[in-house]
Structure 1
Amino acid sequence: MSPEAFAQAALALPGATSQVQWGDDQVYKVGGKMFAVTDLAASRLSIKVSDIAYEALVESGQARPAPYLARAKWVQFDDLAALDDEEVADWLNTAHALVSARLTRAVRRELGLA
């Protein structure tokens, strides 16, 4: 997936925002909570996944535990360009849904996610 396609797909999700954080990371958030992170060149991708997806992706070697975020079931892909567009879009939707579900009802309502 290209960096442009990734940014477009991430920002198309309801209530999604993006900002540069920690110097050189593009952080995608919903309700102020992260659901995906890329480096500024968008070559690496870290993303929130379900418990089952975490185990499957790490055990298969397709991804590795994301630095600093593995305990929260985040994985890191080292080459975003090598990933299938539809698969990445599905992971984005899942990450967004997982993080959105943990927001308060008031925040979800405010973002149109209720």
Structure 2
Amino acid sequence: MEHGVTGKPSRGLGAARLAALCGHWPGVSRDTKWGIDMVFSVDGKMFAVMPSDGSEGGRLSFKVADDRFLELTDQPGIIPAPYLARARWISVIEPQRFATAELEAFILDAYTLVRAKLAKKRQAELGPLPILQARRK
């Protein structure tokens, strides 16, 4: 687990950290939509969105499993994602409330969910799913 200067686990997830986390995963591309939103997709299907300039409090939006949508949107700091809630997307509007490792796990889950909807042949071509590495100081 990564710790900040105070020795406590780090919190939140900035744009650079998000790009470093998932930018190298199999099949992932990054582009900019809606002006400043950095969008991560696997084979053209979005799984995570964040303002590239850190605006909106560093809002982080991503796909979640249907059975977790209500549970997660009941938590403080998380709302159904505007325009994407029907597709079971959430927006973490207060990312500092959450440990960085928890947010990273959400992003990997989002990638996994979206990738699972691809054709079986394409999934096989992408190879094994990425795993999160424990980060050290």
- Specify the TM-score bucket, using the shorter chain as the normaliser: 0.7 to 0.9
Give the counterpart letter for 2:52 in structure 1. Answer: L
1:36 alignment partner, one of 48, 62, 75:
48
TM superposition shift of 1:24: 1.6
SS for the counterpart of 2:74 is helix
Seen in structure 2, the aligned counterparts of structure 1 residues 30 and 74 have a Cα distance that, compared at 3 Å, is same
Partner of 2:69: 54
TM superposition shift of 1:2: 2.7
| Bigger radius of gyration among the two | 2
1:95 alignment partner, one of 110, 116, 136:
110
- Alignment RMSD (CA, Å): 1.9
Give the counterpart letter for 1:54 in structure 2. Answer: F
Give yes or no for contact 2:42–2:114 (8 Å, CA) kept in 1.
yes
**Structure 1: which 4+ aligned runs deviate by more than 6 Å?**
none
The answer for unaligned runs of 5 or more in structure 2 is 1-12, 130-137
Give yes or no for contact 1:31–1:108 (8 Å, CA) kept in 2.
no
TM superposition shift of 1:12: 3.3
Question: TM-score, normalised on structure 2?
Answer: 0.74
SS for the counterpart of 1:13 is coil
Question: TM-score, normalised on structure 1?
Answer: 0.87
TM superposition shift of 1:82: 4.5
The answer for unaligned runs of 5 or more in structure 1 is none
CA deviation profile, 1:8-37 (whole Å, cap 9, x unmatched): 112132221110112221100001100000
